[in-house]
Each structure stands twice: as C-alpha cells, then as structure tokens.
C-alpha cells in the first residue's frame, strides 16, 4: 500500500491522541510557600485563626500534622526542601548563601520540571530572601530553577497606615501596621497577580508555578479588615510555667539570641504581637484564595497539584521566645498540605512523621517524574492514598550557630523529642510529648530516664537512613 498523506495522518492519529492525553493528564503544579508560618491555621485546629483558603486546600488533599523542617531557618530550610538534600549534604547552614555556591551539581525540584517539558515560574520568595530589606531582590535565587523569576517589590515597613506599638527594642522590621485598602503595594499582592497571569496564559499546557509569600514574616503588615478579625480582647498571651527556662541548655538559649526573654514585651505587647501575626496569616491566606479563585474560573483546579508549606515554625512566646532558630516543636514543626488529582486521601489528616526533604520526591511523583538518585527524602504518595499508614520512625532537624560553633541536632519520634547540643556548651534535652506536649520539663536532667535517653541517643546516632519508611 502506498503511503499517501491520508494514510500517514491515519497512522499517526493514535500517537497524536496519546500524546495529547498524556499532556492533559500531567497536572499543573502550584507550589506555595509562606514565610515564618507556624501551624496556627484553622485546618490544623487553631480556635481563632481564620484561614479559609488554606483550609480549602486541606479539604481537597492531605494535611500532614507532623511535618518537620530540616533546619529552622529560612535559607537552609528552603535550600534543603528545593534540592531534596539535607543540610549536611547541601552544606548550607546559614542564610545568604545560594545553592550553587555549595552544590553546583544539584538538580532542584523546579529544575527537574524544566528538564521534563514544564515551564517553571517563580513569583516572590522561594529561596532565601532577606525580609524586609531584600524584598524585590533576586540575590540568593537560583537561575537554573526557573524560566521566569520575579521578586516583586513592596512597601513593607514603610507602608502608610495605623501603627501599633509593640516593643521599642525591635528593629525596623518589627512593626505592626494596619492599612486601609486591600491593595497597597505589597509584594504578596503582586506575586499573586503574576501567578494568576501565568495560569491564564497557559490553562491547557501544564506549568510549575512557585508562589512565595513573605507574610506572616515581620513586619506584620496587613489591611485593617484583617486586624478587625482579631479584637485585642480575644487574644491570649502564652503563659509559661515558672522556672520554664531553668532546665533549657545554654546552647539553646544562645541559638535564639535576642529573641528570647519575651523581647522585653509586657503582656499587652505580647497580645498585640500575636494579633498582628494572626492578621498577617489571614492576609496571606487571602492571596492564596485569589489564586484558587483563578484556577476555579479557568476550570483547571481539578487538574492542578497544590503544595502548601511554611519554611519552618515560629515561636509566639512559648518558652519566652519570639523567633525560629530553636529545636523545640514550635520551631521545627511546620505546615504541609498536599492536594493532587487522583489520590484517595482527600480531606483526611496524616499523623505520621514526615520531613520536608520528602516534598521533592512527592511533587515529582504526582507529575510522573523520576527524581535524581542523590535526593534524600521519600515520596509521600503512599500517604496521599492512605493517610492512616505509618511512615518514618523519626524526623530529623538540625541547627548551627556559626558565631559560637554551636551545633544542635533533634529527633522527633511518636512519643519523644530528643536534642543533642555539641560545641562549647554540650548538653542534652529529652521531652515526653505524651505527658508534656509543650516540652516544659527536660527529662535528660532527671533520674529514672536512662533507658529512654539511651534509646534516643541510638536513634540519632544511626541517622535518618535507619528511620526511613518501609515501603
């Protein structure tokens, strides 16, 4: 039979249809990062904070209630997450270091998508960015990760509005400002606009969009209507038991530095600080809702995998701290929600221990991509189908204070948190989270816990490889 034009088209049609079907089945990726966000969200059970749009993502996917960052500081945490490598492997243990400075061979998560036919977009903060001074800068970004990368500027602490005094000892970023309008030249406004535009231009061809929101990082800046959600009389300051800090090691106190001892705030100041943090969360959540609304309008929400994460936790007065950079639960644990088409765990919580290095292989997996062999996390896809199954036996978080050469390493098991400090002030901490969920009593300094200490030391010494899930 001669190969006519009609026969050629007929023979190619099945392949063309398959290619079209495959490209449609690959999901869009909406990869949302929030800065300095702890688990104070409605979907994580917070009684006051209003986060309806993030809650909506949780209703469509899996909410990971015990997700732990690898390093409770912006730069190291984000680099670890985006590379799938632990801080010991990235060798980035401080801010203001770009990933290629230490690991030029890394294949980052968005870079993997670029290598597999996706266009990759970044709007806002995804790698490290100093806030507020560096907002609008690409200083520590990674060009190989993105086809398009934009860091919108914002007024930040210069925003005109009502200023709420919290503490005169705070630096210029430590202000609370309620401004009258929804739109007022904030970086997050423009980042959300750009994310919406990217999806509008490519509704049918899957893209990877990294949306990096800088709130609720200080300065706490938000429209007044979000402050109005939290009348000051409804805000309760954290009450720590007397002598709480007596059994906390010196190394731990040095790590948190000037953000300890309630930063000199009285009770009213602490309540105002919490209120402004909550208002910033709700403002950030509103930006998330704007993008979800666009996906609805474009009829691609059910074709989009959405990952929402905070880069680490944040203290709001627990142990008298107002910062990250600690190995307590409030700093090491952070929100993680994954919603992807076709999985059975829709709307269910997962209480298994997971780590932020697991995000890379998970996102790659839901798009049908194979991650590079060097990465050190495990895909959470089995938990997206069955959130009730067990996963890792321990989660690992580490800290480093370069000025004093202080190193801290923590593990979280189902019951215990164990912390080991090395350097000039070696020490240990052990907390029984079943009987002491706020981690007020350091059992490492009490008799009768030798067996538990021995077991936790061994888990830490064996390392993360031994704690991997059996899948």
Q: What pLDDT is recorded for position 24?
A: 39
Q: What pLDDT is recorded for position 11?
A: 38
Residue 343 CA: distances (Å) to CA of 35, 54, 56: 28, 19, 16
Interatomic CA distance for residues 222 and 7, integer angstroms: 63
Interatomic CA distance for residues 203 and 304, integer angstroms: 10
Find, among 149, 118, 146, the residue nearest to 136 by Cα. Answer: 149
Which of the residues in the chain have pLDDT under 70?
1-24, 167-173, 258
Q: Name the pTM for this structure.
A: 0.93
3-state secondary structure of 418: strand
* 350 φ, ψ (degrees, to nearest 5): -120, 125
DSSP state of 27: P
Q: What pLDDT is recorded for position 171?
A: 52
Interatomic CA distance for residues 129 and 365, integer angstroms: 28
Tokens representing 263 are: 């930063």
Domains along the sequence of the chain with CATH: 25-388 (3.40.720.10)
CA 38 to the chain's CA centroid: 8
* 251 φ, ψ (degrees, to nearest 5): -60, -40
Find, among 418, 356, 374, the residue nearest to 73 by Cα. Answer: 356
Catalytic residues: 74, 128
Q: What pLDDT is recorded for position 264?
A: 85
Q: What pLDDT is recorded for position 176?
A: 93
Find, among 342, 334, 294, 295, the residue nearest to 314 by Cα. Answer: 334
Q: What pLDDT is recorded for position 173?
A: 61
* 19 φ, ψ (degrees, to nearest 5): -60, -40
Q: What pLDDT is recorded for position 312?
A: 98
Q: What pLDDT is recorded for position 37?
A: 98
**Structure confidence by residue, pLDDT tens digits, 288-323:** 999 999 999 999 999 999 999 999 999 999 999 999
On the question of a cis peptide bond just before residue 280, with omega within 30 degrees of 0, the verdict is no
Q: What pLDDT is recorded for position 166?
A: 79
Tokens representing 315 are: 């203290």
Tokens 């993680």 belong to which residue?
336
Interatomic CA distance for residues 284 and 449, integer angstroms: 43
Q: What pLDDT is recorded for position 165?
A: 74
């Amino acid at each position: 039979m001669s190969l006519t034009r009609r026969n050629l088209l007929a023979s190619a049609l099945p392949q063309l249809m398959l290619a079209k079907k495959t490209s449609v089945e690959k999901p869009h990726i909406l990869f949302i990062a929030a800065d300095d966000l702890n688990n104070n969200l409605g979907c994580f059970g917070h009684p006051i904070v209003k986060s309806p749009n993030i809650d909506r993502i949780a209703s469509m996917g899996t909410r990971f209630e015990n997700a732990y960052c690898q390093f409770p500081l912006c730069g190291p945490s984000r680099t670890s997450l985006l590379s799938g490598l632990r801080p010991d492997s990235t060798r980035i243990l401080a801010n203001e270091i770009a990933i290629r400075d230490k690991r030029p061979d890394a294949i980052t998560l968005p870079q993997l998508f670029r290598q597999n036919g996706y266009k990759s977009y970044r709007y806002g903060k995804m790698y490290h960015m100093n806030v507020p001074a560096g907002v609008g800068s690409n200083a520590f970004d990674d060009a190989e990760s993105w086809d398009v990368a934009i860091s919108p500027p914002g007024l930040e602490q210069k925003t005109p509005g009502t200023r709420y005094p919290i503490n005169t000892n705070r630096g210029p970023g430590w202000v609370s400002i309620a401004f009258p309008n929804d739109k007022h030249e904030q970086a997050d406004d423009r980042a959300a606009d750009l994310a919406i535009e990217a999806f509008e231009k490519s509704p049918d061809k899957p893209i990877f969009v990294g949306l990096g929101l800088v709130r609720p990082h200080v300065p706490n800046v938000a429209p007044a209507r979000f402050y109005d959600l939290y009348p000051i009389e409804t805000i309760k300051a954290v009450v720590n038991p007397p002598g709480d800090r007596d059994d906390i090691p010196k190394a731990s106190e040095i790590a948190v530095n000037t953000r300890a001892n309630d930063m000199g705030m009285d009770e009213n100041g602490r309540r105002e600080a919490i209120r402004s943090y909550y208002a910033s969360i709700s403002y950030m959540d509103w930006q998330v809702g704007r993008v979800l609304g666009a996906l609805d309008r474009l009829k691609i929400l059910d074709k989009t995998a959405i990952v929402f994460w905070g880069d680490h936790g944040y203290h709001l007065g627990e142990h008298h701290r107002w910062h990250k950079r600690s190995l307590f639960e409030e700093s090491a644990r952070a929100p993680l929600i994954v919603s992807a088409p076709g999985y059975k765990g829709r709307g269910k919580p997962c209480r298994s221990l997971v780590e932020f290095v697991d995000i890379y292989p998970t996102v790659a997996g839901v798009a049908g991509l194979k991650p590079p062999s060097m990465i050190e996390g495990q895909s959470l896809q089995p938990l997206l189908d069955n959130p009730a199954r067990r996963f890792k036996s321990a989660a690992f978080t580490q800290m480093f204070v370069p000025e004093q050469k202080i190193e801290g390493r923590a593990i979280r098991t189902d019951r215990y948190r164990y912390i080991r400090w090395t350097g000039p002030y070696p020490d240990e901490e052990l907390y029984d989270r079943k009987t002491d969920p706020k981690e007020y009593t350091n059992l490492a300094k009490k008799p009768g816990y030798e067996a538990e200490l021995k077991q936790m030391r061994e888990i830490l010494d064996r390392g993360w490889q031994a704690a991997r899930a059996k899948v």
